[in-house]
Amino acid sequence: MDFDLDQDHDDLRKGVRGLIARFDDEYWSACDSAHRFPTEFYQALAEGGWLGVAIPEEYGGAGLGITEAALLLQEVASSGAAMNGCSAIHLTIFGMNPLVKHGSAELRHELLPRVVSGDLHVSFGVTEPDAGTDTSRITTRARRDGDGYVVDGRKVWITKAQQAEYLLLLTRTTPLEECAKRTDGMTLFMAPMDRSAIEVREIPKMGRNAVNSNELFIDGLRVPASCRIGEEGKGFRYLLDGLNPERILLAHESIGIGRVAVDRAVTYANQRVVFDRPIGQNQGIAFPLAEATMRLDAAELVARKAAWLYDRGRPCAREANSAKYLAADAAFFAADRAVQTHGGFGYAVEYHVERYFREARLMRIAPISQEMVLNYVSEHVLGLPRSY
C-alpha cells in the first residue's frame, strides 16, 4: 500500500465536495422529513458525470475502480447527506456491475448510457420476505413462456422502486429441490418495472426516508428473454461478483457518516459552554469522540485495503467483510456519541445528529447483518464449522 496522497483521488474528493456543497444538512433534513427523493442532488451528480464513475468509458462512464467509487460515496456521506444521499446513487454507481460483466451487448448499449446520464433509475430485486439472507430460498418464479418469461413472486426492501424503470431481478427458474446445488437454478433479469404487473408498497421505516424502500408483489410480469442477464440458472453467481464491492462501498459510506457525526459533535462541544467552560473540555465528552475517530481511522484503513485488493483483481472477501463490520460499528458508535455530546439537542431534528444516528443504525443491518459477517469470518477465515 501507498499512504502518500494520491493527487487524482484528492482531486476527485474535492470535486465532489464542491459540487454537492449546496446540498446542506437542511436540504437533507427536508428530504428526509418529506420522504422526498433528492432529485436535484441526483441530477447534479449526473450532470457532473459522477454517476458513471465506475461504468466503462464505452458507455459514457469514467471507467474508474471501486476505490474511486468508494471515495465518492464517502464524500457524499460525510457531507451530511449520509444514507439519504448515498442510497440515491449507490446502485446507479455500482449496482450495474452484473449488467456490465454479464449482460448482452444490446442491453448494455441500450441501458448503461442512460444510467450514466441519470435518465434511468434501476432497483435491485433480490431479497424476499421468507428468504432473507438465505438467498437460495427465494421463491419468485420465472417460467419460460414463448420468447420470454412470466414472473410471479414477492420481493422486499427494494430501494427506489418508486422511481425505478427497471428492476435487476433475481428469480428461480428451477425449483430448489431439483437443483444439485442450492445456488443453482436462479436467473437474473433486467426486468422492466411494468406497474400493471408489479404492485409497489412503500415500507415505513426509521430513517433514510428520502429514499424509499418497498415491498413488491409481482403477478404475471412478462420479461423478454433479451432482458435476461447471462445464462439461465447462473444468476446467483453473477450476483456474487457484486457482493464484495457492495460491502466495500457501504463500509466507506459508514465511515462518511461517522466522520460527519464526529465533526458536528466536535463543533458543538467547542461552542457549547456549561459550568463556565466548553463541554469538550470534559473528558467524558472528549474521550469518546477521540475513540470514535480512532475507530473510524482503523475501519477506513481496512476498507481502503479491501478496495485496493478488489481493483487489482485479488481476493478481498475477508477484507470486504471486515471493513463492512468495523465501519458499521465505528459509525454507529460515532453517531451515538454525537447525539450524547449534543445532550438534549442531540434528540432534536435541528442539529441533524439524530438523523445520522438513525442512518448509522441501518449500517449494522444492511446490506448484510453484522452477525452474518461474523459467520463468514468464523467459517471462511478461521475454518470453523458452519453454524447455520
Partner 1 sequence: MDYRIDDEVAALRAALLTFLRERMPDPGAEPGPDERLAAWLELVGSEWLEHYTTGTGDPAERVSALHVAEAFGAVPVTGPVDVVAGYLLPLAAATGWTAGLDRLRDGSLVTALVPGLDTPGRDGVPRRRAERLPAVRDGAVRVTGRLERVPCAADAHAVVVAVELDGLPALALVETERDGVAVGAPSGVDLRRPVADVTFDDAEAAAVHTATDLVDREDSSAAGHSLFLDAEAVGGGTEVIARSVEYCTGRVQFGRPVGSFQAVRHRLADVTATVEGGRSLAYRAAWDLAAAIPSAAADVIASRLWSSAAYLAAAEAAVQCHGGTGFTWEQGVHRWYRAAIAGRGGADLAAARAAVAAHLRLLATGPTGVRVAAPVGAARRAG
Q: How far apart are CB 87 and partner 1 at their closest, in Å? A: 23
Is the preceding peptide bond at 367 cis, omega within 30 degrees of 0?
yes
Nearer to partner 1, 287 or 347 (CB): 287
Q: How far apart are CB 131 and partner 1 at their closest, in Å? A: 12
Query: 314 and 323 in contact (C-beta within 8 Å)?
Result: no
Nearer to partner 1, 22 or 201 (CB): 201
Residue whose C-alpha is closest to residue 54's, from 7, 104, 96: 96
- Which segments of 35-132 does DSSP mark as H helices, in order? 39-47, 66-76, 82-90, 97-102, 105-117
Q: How far apart are CB 252 and partner 1 at their closest, in Å? A: 31
Q: Which residues contact 182 (CB under 8 A, 6 or more apart)?
A: 136, 176
Applying CB under 8 A, which residues contact partner 1? Answer: 129-130, 282-284, 287
- Which segments of 272-352 does DSSP mark as H helices, in order? 283-311, 317-341
Residue whose C-alpha is closest to residue 54's, from 104, 85, 24, 98: 98
Nearer to partner 1, 283 or 387 (CB): 283
Three-class HEC string of 118-129: CCCCEEEECCCC
Q: How far apart are CB 129 and partner 1 at their closest, in Å? A: 6
Q: Which residues contact 339 (CB under 8 A, 6 or more apart)?
A: 346, 347, 353, 354, 357
> Taking the chain, what is the end-to-end CA distance rounded to the nearest angstrom?
36
Nearer to partner 1, 145 or 219 (CB): 219
Q: How far apart are CB 283 and partner 1 at their closest, in Å? A: 4
Query: 368 and 250 in contact (C-beta within 8 Å)?
Result: no
d(CA 151, CA 143): 6
Q: How far apart are CB 203 and partner 1 at their closest, in Å? A: 11
Q: How far apart are CB 171 and partner 1 at their closest, in Å? A: 20
Query: 37 and 88 in contact (C-beta within 8 Å)?
Result: yes
Nearer to partner 1, 129 or 175 (CB): 129
Nearer to partner 1, 273 or 349 (CB): 273
Nearer to partner 1, 43 or 139 (CB): 139
Cell of residue 334, nine digits: 460515532
Q: Which residues contact 25 (CB under 8 A, 6 or more apart)?
A: 80, 352
- Which segments of 21-55 does DSSP mark as H helices, in order? 25-34, 39-47
Q: How far apart are CB 154 and partner 1 at their closest, in Å? A: 10
Nearer to partner 1, 130 or 199 (CB): 130
Nearer to partner 1, 146 or 284 (CB): 284
Q: How far apart are CB 130 and partner 1 at their closest, in Å? A: 7
